Homo-oligomer: A and B are copies of this chain.
Amino acid sequence: MTTDAAPSLDPVELGAYFALIEVSSLLRHTVEQQLQEVGGLSYVQFQLLATLGDAPDGSRRMTDLADGVVYSRSGLTYQAGLLEKAGYVTRAPSPDDERGVTVTLTDAGRDVLARVFPGHIGVVRDLLVDPLDRADVESLARVLGTVRDHLRANPPRSAAPRRKARGRA
């Protein structure tokens, strides 16, 4: 039901896709530079720290940290290791489940987050928010929120359950 018939997108749909890719790519690239310059953080590292910062106690289990940030376990272990070595997080066995590891934000972690945040916000405002009027920002938030919710509800899986477009050729 997905891509059996001749798949195509009209110009508007294609335009939305291409614009999304180009905008997010450039925005992310610029933010990455800012994070690297100011805090020596990669974007993934920032996302992990920010996720911890959102948690009431600054703690989260590895698995819960992975969410939309990283796509493999070992990748998360690697990044968490770097953050721990930098002193931004600690890792300890989870109290309730000895298999799990609880990652906790340190004071130094909160510091680097605070140091990095203003410039981060500045980039996002300059590149994404300022060029738009209020109504467009609201529209963008709503529409992309819809897409995000659908993605979360239907995890795209590793393209495994997806049909092998054995089309022409």
| A residues at B contact (CB < 8 Å) | 2-3, 6-9, 12-13, 15-17, 19-30, 33-34, 37-38, 68, 71, 111, 114-115, 118-119, 121-129, 131-132, 136-141, 143-148, 150-151, 156, 158-159, 162, 165, 167-169
Cα(A146)–Cα(B127), bound, Å: 11
Contact B140 A16 (CB under 8 A): yes
Cα(A145)–Cα(B127), bound, Å: 13
Asked, given contacts A27-B20, A122-B165, whether A128 binds B147 with beta carbons under 8 Å apart, the answer is yes
Q: Which of B3, B20, B165 contacts A23 (CB 8 A)?
A: B20
Chain B nearest Cβ from A51, distance in angstroms: 11
* A114-B168, A140-B143 known, 6 other contacts, Cβ within 8 Å: A20-B140, A23-B151, A29-B159, A34-B162, A37-B159, A127-B147
Cα(A118)–Cα(B169), bound, Å: 11
Q: Could you say how many copies of this chain the assembly holds?
A: 2
Q: Which of B13, B28, B128 contacts A16 (CB 8 A)?
A: B128
Contact A169 B114 (CB under 8 A): yes
Interface of A is mostly: helix
Query: Which are the 8 A-B pairs with shortest beta-carbon distances?
Result: A3-B122, A24-B24, A19-B144, A131-B150, A16-B141, A119-B165, A7-B121, A15-B141
Chain B nearest Cβ from A66, distance in angstroms: 13
